[in-house]
Amino acid sequence: MSQQASAGDVIRALELQPHVEGGYFRRTFQADQRATLETAGGPRYLMTSIYYLLTEQSPVGQFHFNQSDILHFFHLGDPVEYSLIFADGSLQTLIMGSDILAGQQLQLHVPGGIWKASRLLDGPDGFGLISEAVSPGFDFADMQIGDRRKLIAQYPQHQAVIEQLTRADG
């Protein structure tokens, strides 16, 4: 990708669409050549994957909860910060990006059952591109978008980060 590529160039080249949690995405794979897995929510593909892009115009992937494990891979652009709230109330913040000498991560595993949010950090590119591999495969029925009031009530010690990474109406 050339140094001059814009977020719009990436969106067009990868045929991305707006995502309900913020940013842009496109499903790139589903293991439909394999038997499905039975889960509490019903049958799911063994694995799915997507491209996921945050931009200056849509810089936040708001807090959401997935049932499945997700492995994230950093590809291009500016670093992306992840905030994870675990069931015990602990908060972990990690940065995905290409500067591994500064502690940024190229891969990030987020277990199912974790509240997760992401935000684009400032940088010269104006976008951050990752991909995600999800197992059992992603299904919108297995995802819950965070409700700001409920998350603050459950994790009051993280009110500031929850307010930054959720919508006021949710």
Sketch the domain layout of the chain as residue ranges: 22-31+43-164
Which residue is listed with tokens 């160039």?
A: 9
Superfamily of domain 22-31+43-164: Jelly Rolls (2.60.120.10)
| Mean pLDDT over each residue of the chain, to the nearest integer | 94
pTM recorded for the entire structure: 0.92
pLDDT for 31-66, tens place per residue?
A: 988 888 788 888 888 899 999 999 999 999 999 999
CB 52 within 8 A of CB 119: no
Residue 137 DSSP symbol: P
Nearest to 138 by CA among 76, 49, 71, 64: 49
If one compares 103 and 40, the residue with the highest pLDDT of the two is 103
Largest pairwise CA distance in the chain: 46
